[in-house]
Amino acid sequence: MRVISVDDERIIMEDLVDMMEKMNEIDEVHGFTDYEEALEYVKAEEVDVAFLDIHMRGMDGVELAKRMKVIRPGINIVFLTAYADYSLDAMKIHASGYIMKPASEDDIRKELEDLRHPVESEAHKRLKAQCFGNFEVYIDNMPCTFRYIKTKELIAYLIDRRGAYVTNGEILGTLWEDKEVTASLENYLRNLVGDLRAVFKEADLESVILKKKGMIAIVPEAFDCDYYRWIDGDVSAINAFSGEYMSQYSWSEYTLAGIENRISEDY
């Protein structure tokens, strides 16, 4: 879950950010004392929830919320204020919640549990995949370490296939396109699969790897993946794409061509 806090009183804003940084429900939190900087951030990045002080210099929180909703209609707005007479204005713009200052951790958590536009918290997505540029996969924000270098390419290919089952023959033909399939190579692939499953099992994520006889897949919903978010039209993922996709793997050129074709059709 990506959250911002906007309050022109720096101490109050920083206290709120410090509080939210300790919450498992929140993956990212950024604080602003300047409403213009907050608006620019919302334009550039995906934001799920905005905690806004209503009474600010230059632009009150209600007006700021209206502008944010123009940029991102699905953003959840939670107002924080020491004044009780703004509730009607908050209701008019369909705010998600309303907290009286000083906000407590319980107050914030209750609002996050009852958002107007529910958010699937990225806190539950311990796996992250970076596909744009060079491929990397993370568990709990740490790069995965495998016994075999080729295991990383195997998980990259499974992520590229987005949950579709792939056969051992397809994997062998893709990852070793110029090599003859031998018993030794088939055994090596079994070692890679075992390595992958062992790493995920150690992290208590073994259910992410789906295995059938002679076939394997991943659960795509378990990953916070820039490529998946790009497909869904996520603005931050669209902006992150700079013409490279899993650059270290030659087979990724097919997906890259598909991305480029879609971009050319859209523009």
CATH code of the domain covering residue 6:
3.40.50.2300
Q: Please report the pLDDT score of residue 61 as a whole number.
A: 87
Residues 193, 66 share a domain: no
Residues 147, 236 share a domain: yes
Residues 223, 115 share a domain: no
Residues 85, 142 share a domain: no
Q: How many domains in the chain?
A: 2
The proportion of the chain whose per-residue pLDDT surpasses 90, expressed as a percent, equals: 63
Q: Please report the pLDDT score of residue 38 as a whole number.
A: 95
Higher-pLDDT residue of 124 and 73 is 73
Q: Please report the pLDDT score of residue 84 as a whole number.
A: 63
Domain coverage including residue 75: 2-122
Which of 95, 122, 149 delimits the end of a domain? 122
Structure tokens of 66? 């209206």
Highest-confidence range of 57-66, 69-78, 136-145, 257-266, by mean pLDDT? 136-145
Residues 144, 107 share a domain: no
pLDDT band at 123 (very low <50, low <70, confident <90, very high): very low
Is this prediction's pTM over 0.95?
no
Average pLDDT estimate for 2-16: 94
- The CATH number of the domain holding residue 262 is 1.10.10.10
150 sits in which H/E element = helix 149-160
Q: Inform me whether the pLDDT recorded for 124 exceeds 60.
A: no
Alpha carbons 54 and 7: distance in angstroms, whole number: 8
Which of 89, 122, 155 delimits the end of a domain? 122
pLDDT band at 54 (very low <50, low <70, confident <90, very high): confident
Q: Inform me whether the pLDDT recorded for 81 exceeds 60.
A: yes
Residues 110, 135 share a domain: no
Extract long-range pairs of 77-84: CB within 8 Å, 24+ residues apart: 77/49, 77/50, 77/52, 78/49, 78/50, 78/51, 78/52, 78/111, 79/51, 79/52, 79/53, 79/54, 80/7, 80/16, 80/51, 80/52, 80/53, 80/54, 81/53, 81/54, 81/55, 82/55, 83/54, 83/55
Which of 96, 122, 148 delimits the end of a domain? 122
Note the pLDDT tens digit of each residue in 83-94: 666 555 555 566
Residues 130, 57 share a domain: no
Average pLDDT estimate for 74-82: 89
Contacts of 153 (CB under 8 A, 6+ apart): 175, 249
Q: Please report the pLDDT score of residue 101 as a whole number.
A: 87
Residues 108, 199 share a domain: no
Residues 150, 36 share a domain: no
Residues 38, 139 share a domain: no
Q: Please report the pLDDT score of residue 265 as a whole number.
A: 81
Note the pLDDT tens digit of each residue in 243-267: 999 999 999 999 999 999 998 887 5
pLDDT band at 117 (very low <50, low <70, confident <90, very high): confident
Q: Please report the pLDDT score of residue 196 as a whole number.
A: 97
Residues 196, 149 share a domain: yes
Q: Please report the pLDDT score of residue 73 as a whole number.
A: 84
Residues 133, 109 share a domain: no
Note the pLDDT tens digit of each residue in 210-244: 998 999 999 998 899 999 999 988 878 888 899 99
Q: Please report the pLDDT score of residue 122 as a whole number.
A: 46
